[in-house]
Structure 1
Amino acid sequence: MEQFLMRAKRRLLPWLLCLVHGIAMAIEAPTDQPTLRWMTIDFPPLFMVSGPEHGVGDYAQGVAVANLPGYEHVLQAVPPNYQRIEQEMKNRENVCFAGFLKTPERERFMTFSEPYLLMLPVQLFISAGHAALAQENGAVDLRGLLDTGTFRLGVLGGRRYGATLDQVIDSYGERGPVYRRYSKDQLRGLINMLMAHDRAIDGVLAYPGEITYLSKQESSVPRPLRAYPLQGSPAAIFGYFACSRSRLGQAVIASIDRTIPHIRAEVAALYARDLAPPARAAYASLVYAQWGIRLPRE
């Protein structure tokens, strides 16, 4: 695993050099090369643009940039708010981001790559002190739970969770059993709300790796939490590069697609790094069945 991480860091060096060169050139002189604006957020563990580690999204983005020499690349840090990135893509023709789910709504103004990341499905996390939730065939009916009127769910504002869950969440307005958090500390803030004494929310939707990562950080996630699978969730969720739906964006995605088969194995290993052992075992089976990738041993 240590050798893999060293290799991943070496692969990121061309990206960093390319970004520095692109930003310097953009400042110093005009250029005939088209400019790509890469949205980046600090939202661990998928995006870790500060600190010594790299997340799945910034690693994949770095490889893509290093393989796109015909463009000037500008890195634009934005708050971890998916709606902000969506708005940038609606308003500009040269915006790209390495961490979106594909939805019909987004496809109206985004061009998507082939999937480069396979993720375990979102789960419902509650405090272990909360009463156990009713399940059917080993999973919770989210709509039925919210319709009881006694359970309030916390979600990240602007995030998409997959077609089935999005339909449930979107059916509730800004008021009611779904609370949408848009602040900078979206997930950490939701967990703090969940664990507070007066408990403003009863549950949080999150990916298993996110919770595992936060639990390793000092004072981030008071333990214990209980996780529940959700009815209608697929066995796996795919992550994509996305660019503005424009001629430029389509050309960029076509170039990125040629690199994706070569990065999936390292992306999968990075993603698995933040999974608890049972989840890692389940993920290893999924990624092998889908892409024939064997995860490196820890």
Structure 2
Amino acid sequence: MCCKRRLLPLAFALVQGTALATGVSGVKPTVRWMTVDFPPLFMVTGPGHGVGDYAQGIAVARLGDYEHQLQAVPPNYQRIEQEMKARGDVCFAGFLKTAARERFMVFSEPYLMMLPIQLFVPADHPQPPATDSAVDLAGLLAAGTFRLGILGGRRYGASVDPVIDTYKDSPSVYRRYSKDQLGGLVSMMAAHEHGLDGILAYPSEITYLQKQPKATPLALRAYPLKGAPAFMYGYFACSNSDLGRAVIAGINQTIPGIRAQVAEIYSHDLTPETRASYLHLLHKEWGVELATN
């Protein structure tokens, strides 16, 4: 695994080197890249770098007409959205595309194919009702006996967000905004704090988290969500400004050449069974073929 990730430090170094050049010439327009700690997509601290870090590094290295600054922000997507609304020079390499975001962001072509959000429930807790292994999230929350944990500020996609939004003022959905968002939610379930019965997460996030030395030991069962797509896309996004649109146009030229490597890195944090399903989808949708082992 360490060998397969060896391109990441190089890509990240390219970002850092370019960022240090900011302000030297005073001629090139500056792009402000938001960076956050959301393993395994972004890793500001800790060993290694994430899929988003890699993609961002390649994009920055090839956008030589701009100066680039990195700005670390708290792991809260709403903070990045606020930056994009307020300024015309902000970019981020890890958003889902939503109609609300398209009002003030411009999106690239998709560079990352991801498996969809799933519901994770402790194996020793009462399990939710499921049909063909899939859970009806709307019905589960409507029953009033299940308390769901989610990451504060995150959007989960068109099939999930409307359901969650109907519970924005309800104790049925707990939103965690602290730095250790996902790990904190898992710890809360293990300690039976706040009565959390399950959490929403990407499969790659859970697999990555469970491999960490200080991870909370907790056996989890994963459930697909009824109506969820077979996959989701990750995008670069920039402020919807002349600068943002120009940056995205340049990024789009790099995307066909990075999809295979991005998919390879992403798939490292999947279980063998889940990775096999992912590789099938990747080849079917994008024609990208990766080794099965």
Q: Identify the TM-score tier after normalising by the shorter chain.
A: over 0.9
Q: Which amino acid aligns with 2:253?
A: R
1:3-40 superposed Cα distances (whole Å, 9 cap, x missing partner):
54334443444333212222xxx2xx560211110000
> Is 2:10 aligned against 1:10?
yes
Structure 1 counterpart of 2:107, from 85, 105, 112: 112
Shift of 1:49: 2.3
Return the match for 2:209 from 214, 221, 240.
Answer: 214
Query: Which digits, 9 at most, give the CA deviation of each residue in 1:222-257, with x for residues without a partner?
Result: 221111110011000000000000011000000000
Q: Deviation string for 1:35-76 (max 9, x for gaps)? A: 110000011111012333111011101111001111111100
Structure 1 residues 61-100: aligned runs within 5 Å: 61-100=56-95
Give matches, 1:118-157, under 5 Å.
118-157=113-152
Q: Which amino acid aligns with 2:159?
A: T
Q: How many residues align?
A: 293
SS in 2 for 1:289: helix
Contact 2:8 2:50 in 1 (8 A): no
How far residue 297 of structure 1 moved from its aligned partner, in angstroms, is 4.5
CA RMSD of aligned residues (A): 1.5
* Separation in structure 2 between the aligned mates of residue 297 and residue 120 of structure 1, nearest angstrom: 17
For residues 9 and 231 of structure 1, the distance between their equivalents in structure 2, rounded to whole angstroms, comes to 39
Counterpart Cα distance in 1 of 2:280 and 2:194: 37
Offset at 1:184?
1.0
Q: 1:65 & 1:90 partners in 2: Cα distance?
A: 22
Deviations along 1:138-183, one digit per CA (max 9) or x if unpaired, are: 3100011001111010111111111010010011123331111111
Does the aligned pair in 2 maintain the 1:8–1:266 contact within 8 Å? no
Alignment counterpart, residue 246 of structure 1, candidates 223, 241, 246: 241
The separation in 2 between residues aligned to 1:72 and 1:41, in whole angstroms, is 20
**How far has the Cα of 1:289 moved from its partner?**
0.8
Residue 74 of structure 1 aligns to a residue whose secondary structure is strand
TM-score w.r.t. the length of structure 2 is 0.96
Q: Secondary structure of 1:164's match?
A: coil
3-state secondary structure, aligned to 1:258? helix
Confirm or deny that 1:158 pairs with 2:153.
yes
Match of 2:287 in 1: 292
TM-score, normalised with respect to structure 1: 0.94
Q: Note if contact 2:151-2:181 (Cα within 8 Å) is conserved in structure 1.
A: yes
8 Å CA contact 2:105–2:237 kept in 1: the answer is: yes
1:231 aligns with 2:259: no
Q: CA deviation at 1:199?
A: 5.0
**How far apart are residue 221 of structure 1 and its match?**
3.0
Alpha-carbon deviation of 1:295? 1.9
Runs of 4+ residues over 6 Å off in structure 1 = none
1:34 aligns with 2:15: no
What runs of 5+ residues in structure 2 fail to find an aligned partner? none
Conserved in 2, the CA contact under 8 Å of 1:174 and 1:180? Answer: no
Alpha-carbon contact 2:276-2:292 (below 8 Å) kept: no
Q: Secondary structure at the match of 1:150?
A: coil
Change beyond 3 A, Cα 1:155–1:224: same
- Alpha-carbon distance between aligned partners in 1 of 2:25 and 2:8, rounded to the nearest angstrom: 33
Residues 1:59 and 2:59 aligned together = no
**Identical aligned residues as a percent:** 60
**2:98 matches 1:103:** yes
Is 1:274 paired with 2:262? no
SS of the residue aligned with 2:106? strand
Contact kept, 8 Å, 1:36 with 1:71, in 2: the verdict is yes
CA contact (8 A) 2:8 2:53 kept: no
8 A Cα contact 2:136 2:226, kept in partner: yes
Secondary structure of the structure 1 residue equivalent to 2:160: helix
Write the letter of the residue equivalent to 2:5.
L
Q: Distance in 2 between matches of 1:11 and 1:244?
A: 23
Structure 1: tracts of 5 or more residues without a match: none
Question: 1:258 is aligned with what amino acid?
Answer: Q
User: Does the CA-based 8 Å contact 2:37-2:43 persist in structure 1?
Assistant: yes
